[in-house]
Amino acid sequence: MPHNTENAASGGIFRVPGGGDSRGESRILKILRPPAADPGAGTSAWPTSEAPDHFNYWRREVAAYQSGFADSAFADAGIRAPGLMAVETRADGSIELWLEDVEGRSGFEVSVERLGRFAHELGAGQARWVDRVPPAADLPWLSRRWLAQYVSGGPHSTVLIDDADWDGSIARVWPATTRLALRRLWSSRAAVSAAAEAFPRTLCHLDLWPANLIEDTSGASVLIDWAFVGEGAVGEDPANLIVDSVTDGLIDMAQLPYIVEAICDGYLAGLSDGGWDGSADQVRAAIATCGAAKYSWLGALVVASAARGSTGAESADEIDAAAEGLERVRPLAELLAQWADTVAS
């Protein structure tokens, strides 16, 4: 099944017909590799580690499932994890997670309104954890300062701002104000990441995007891929859900304004219904700040890629295609620019 092949901790994800189950039902097999299993696996952008506080600690998901924490974390709000069927250790130290194969629709197949309903459940689930994330002494495998680690040493930490021709003819597909805001965002990414850490802390999934959300056949929400779960900011998860709803092109970019509204409104209502009485303005600022920090690289990468594809002797058609690519993601660029301005103001 599709998975991040650049992640050194991942040994593959497979749907296994029958799965060894007496009822003949399929199962999901997820293989997790320790750093020593294959030192050359993955890329330097997604290293794994034996340290429990590392952003990509290889055993975190095993602990989340075996402890029952993944299934119970947001259960009161209506969000569950797939059932754990078995855990087995291979000769090389890799671990096999055998999980329920959840039937239903992925987050890419549901309506915008359904994403809003999920955001409400998420808000209600996270409300109980605000300022109550279990300490490292109790759950040492929970991630800590995940966003800061991702920004400073994650997969996009080596994007070079010098590669981005912000004032080139192709880049000017985006308004000057958008380009300026994104350029400043990349330059100030460390400060924006620090600003994100100042918001109230709660329990976060930290890989929340439509591919990791399933609406099962009963209509309930199921969250998969708990490899990063841990402490994060209020607003951090919905920010990621908003951006990653459209980055793969599986949801029409034209839906982005409606996705923003549905997820923000749903999340705010969920926090309130879950018993947290924090400021709505603070939550909206947190969503903007966390989203800007997590995706501080995106504008620079898109502009740099367009510039590399439009230099030299490329044809007019290739230049037009590069410009069209920037135009296609313009709504997302403008959203990130707005979020960046929110942080700066």
pLDDT tens digits, 95-142? 999 999 999 999 999 999 999 999 999 999 999 999 999 999 999 999
Give the three-state DSSP class for 14.
strand
- What's the rounded Cα separation, in Å, for the pair 99 and 207? 18
Query: For the purposes of burial, counting CB atoms within 10 Å of the CB of 231, is it exposed (0-12), middle (13-18) or buried (19 or more)?
Result: buried
Report residue 313's pLDDT band, with 50, 70 and 90 as the boundaries: very low
**What would the pLDDT profile of 20-58 be if each residue is shown by its tens digit?**
556 678 999 999 999 976 655 555 568 889 999 999 999
Listed in sequence order, the residues at least 6 apart from 2 whose beta carbon sits closer than 8 Å to its beta carbon are 13, 211
pLDDT at residue 262 tops 70: yes
Element spanning 231, H or E = strand 230-233
Q: Specify the pLDDT at position 160.
A: 58
Neighbour tally for 198: CB within 10 Å: 10
Nearest to 214 by CA among 81, 31, 29: 81
Question: In this structure, which amino acid lies at residue 165?
Answer: D
